[in-house]
Amino acid sequence: MGKTAASVLVVALFTLVAAQALHAAPCNPSALSPCGGALVGGVVTRGCCVQLRAQQGCLCQYARNPAYRGYVNGPVAQSVARTCGLPMIKC
């Protein structure tokens, strides 16, 4: 592999990693605010499901936090996740 090919490969890999980082949602529990109504017996909205999917990688972090544990681990939260088509939260 020549220097030019190696340089192109490095740039391509860097671009791929940077693009993945941009698409990864930072953990922000307030982003789940559209699910607030659903957690108290309201309707699960499309906005809730979108945010729940975006924050899916953060749910175990929230489950370990005493301030959010009850919202993530409870049966209502599991029901909301199922309604949104997400697997059961297992941490």
pLDDT tens per residue, range 18-34: 333 344 569 999 999 99
Number of domains in the chain: 1
Domain span at 55: 27-83
pLDDT of residue 5 exceeding 90 = no
Give me the CATH number covering residue 68: 1.10.110.10
Cα angle value 38/47/37 (rounded, 5°): 20
Express as a percent the part of the chain with pLDDT over 90. Answer: 60
Token digits for 61? 């972090």
Q: In this structure, is residue 8 part of a structural domain?
A: no
- Which pLDDT belongs to residue 70? 86
Q: In this structure, is residue 55 part of a structural domain?
A: yes
Q: In this structure, is residue 40 part of a structural domain?
A: yes
Q: In this structure, is residue 7 part of a structural domain?
A: no
Per-residue pLDDT, averaged over 34-58, amounts to 95
Q: Choose among 66, 65, 77, 64: nearest CA to 32.
A: 77
- Which pLDDT belongs to residue 12? 32
Per-residue pLDDT, averaged over 49-55, amounts to 96
